Structure 1
Amino acid sequence: MAEKNRTSVGIYGQQYTIIGTDPANHIRYVASLVDEKMREISSRNPGLDTSKVAVLTAINAVHDFIKLKEQYELLEKEYKLKD
């Protein structure tokens, strides 16, 4: 079993300790992307509270994930057809 690491990160003005098996630099990178997206959403919608900014950030992230997954599955099917 992989050893778990504790990594402190700042996201949208709050400090979090993330525990996981990924390297600290990866966790910091992910946190920086979340922070960047939250700040982007907040700047476009300055009246939103932190909870709403967080939910919109999560929705954006899941939307992007689903689109990438669909593209991956399409490419995978195309690749299998070529074999």
Structure 2
Amino acid sequence: MESKNRVTVEIFGEVYALKGDIEPERVMKLAAMVDKRMRTIAKTNSQLSSLKISVLAALNLADEYLQLERDYNQLVEMLKEK
């Protein structure tokens, strides 16, 4: 039985103890990405609560993901045509 990886990260001033199958280095990189996005949003919207900042960060990251997915699918289709 494979043991779960444990890692502690800090995102926007909150500490999270996480456990899972993903490598700790990857989890720390993901946490840093989310933290950076939240801090960027907070700088330009100082009146927002942490919850609203986290929702905006999630929406921003989801939008980027969808754009990358769309770009990837277009590239795959272009390669199929060759």
Q: TM-score range by the shorter chain?
A: over 0.9
Which ranges of 4 or more aligned residues in structure 1 deviate by more than 4 Å?
none
Which residue pairs with 2:30 in the alignment? 30
- In structure 1, runs of 5+ residues without a counterpart are none
Distance 1:40 1:23 in 2: 26
RMSD value, Cα: 1.1
Distance 1:35 1:28 in 2: 10
Match of 1:42, SS state, is helix
2:15 is equivalent to residue 10 of structure 1: no
Question: Any residues of structure 2 matched to 1:35-50 within 5 Å, and which?
Answer: 35-50=35-50
Which residue pairs with 1:56 in the alignment? 56
Distance 1:74 1:19 in 2: 35
Distance 2:16 2:60 in 1: 21
Distance 2:75 2:27 in 1: 28
Letter in 2 for 1:26: R
Distance 1:31 1:10 in 2: 7
Tell me the CA shift for residue 2 of structure 1.
5.0
What is the number of residues matched between the two proteins? 82
The answer to which of 11-20 and 53-62 deviates more is 11-20
Match of 1:38, SS state, is helix
TM-score norm. by structure 2 comes to 0.95
